[in-house]
Amino acid sequence: MKHHVTKTAPVLRRAISTIALALGLGTLVASGAQAQDYPSKPITMFIGYGAGGQTDLVGRGVAQVLSDQLGVPVNVVNKPGSGGALAAYQLQKEDPDGYTVMFHTDGIINAEPFTTKRITFTPEDFEYAGMITAFQQGLAAPKDAPYDTVAEFVDWAKQNPGAVFGSLSPMAKLYMDEIAKANDLDVNIMPLKSGGEVVNTLLGKQVALVFSGGIHYRYPDETKSIAATTTFRHPSAPDVETINEAGYPLGMDARTTLILPKGTPREVLETLSTALAAAATDEQFQKVVGAADIPIMYFDLDAAAEEITQSYAANKAIIEGAGIEPQ
């Protein structure tokens, strides 16, 4: 009795392979078609802070520009918690189809992982459609303080031990710790909880120096910048040196970024990046961020990805070099 299994099995395998290949190509074609049709429905934008803050202000302005450019609603959903980590972890669970995005400062990826144990993101965990603004973070003092630079503050602090520095976080405290350590200064730290407290301590002259996210620029008659703690000089105070220029290589930026789930198609990222670029010249957006002294510094999707990768390594070296351990 003859058996024909050996003859039919290869045929069957070839048939199965052909079907599988067809299904795979069908999936790719469908995915490509979806990317080409993007967007065809409303987009949800997570913001990792509550309503009313600077990131929320910029994010809502961006949402309006994106909606105008893309022709679909962009609905803002505030997801406060763990400094943006709650929203970022939720974003990772969403489909990588471009219909759920997150607007947040890049610090959630390139700084927070080095200060907070429960935050473990790396640049490779997400995709990036671009960056639009940068906060003018820096060291600020009361207007009549007898120093205008870091060097002058150091000379003054040596003659006035126990000077008070206002700090919102371990990252803010890092700057004064490093300056004090390099110059053997005796400085007291005043913990602060909000931008409002930063302003109140400055206006009330309760601090000699404070770390500000840029809110002090709203009070030019009562406050002044001593140094930009960013890698760039601030547009609002172009004559004020950066912390790096002052001799302390600690410059770190906070750039608002459009973040998407890993695996989002390149075509979708390009569409969002082009739409985001329109914010740079949108009159209403310019008014919103200009009133808050937040400069527009647009990066497209490739520049944003490169910035995230480079700043991740640079910030890691700064933070770990300062002896800060994740808490």
- 278, amino acid identity: A
**Span 228-272, pLDDT tens digits:** 999 999 999 999 999 999 999 999 999 999 999 999 999 999 999
Residue intervals in the chain for CATH 3.40.190.10: 138-228
Residue intervals in the chain for CATH 3.40.190.150: 38-134+253-321
CATH 3.40.50.720 fits 138-228, yes or no: no
The pLDDT, as a whole number, for residue 186 is: 97
**Span 22-73, pLDDT tens digits:** 555 554 444 555 577 999 999 999 999 888 888 999 999 999 999 999 999 9
The CATH number of 38-134+253-321 is which of 3.40.50.2300, 3.30.530.20, 3.40.190.150, 3.40.190.10?
Answer: 3.40.190.150
Sheet of 209-212: strand order equals: 187-191, 163-167, 209-212, 138-142, 223-228
By C-alpha distance, which of 210, 200, 194 is closest to 139?
210
pTM: predicted TM-score of the whole model, two decimal places:
0.86
The pLDDT, as a whole number, for residue 53 is: 84
Per-residue pLDDT tens listing for the chain (327 residues): 444 444 445 545 555 455 555 555 554 444 555 577 999 999 999 999 888 888 999 999 999 999 999 999 999 999 999 889 999 999 999 999 999 999 999 999 999 999 999 999 999 999 999 999 999 999 999 999 999 999 999 999 999 999 999 998 888 899 999 999 999 999 999 998 888 899 999 999 999 999 999 999 999 999 999 999 999 999 999 999 999 999 999 999 999 999 999 999 999 999 999 999 999 999 999 999 999 999 999 999 999 999 999 999 999 999 999 999 898
CB of 145 within 8 A of CB of 277? no
Token pair belonging to 316:
């890691």
The secondary element (H helix, E strand) that includes residue 281 is none
- With H, G, I as helix, E, B as strand and everything else as coil, classify residue 151: helix
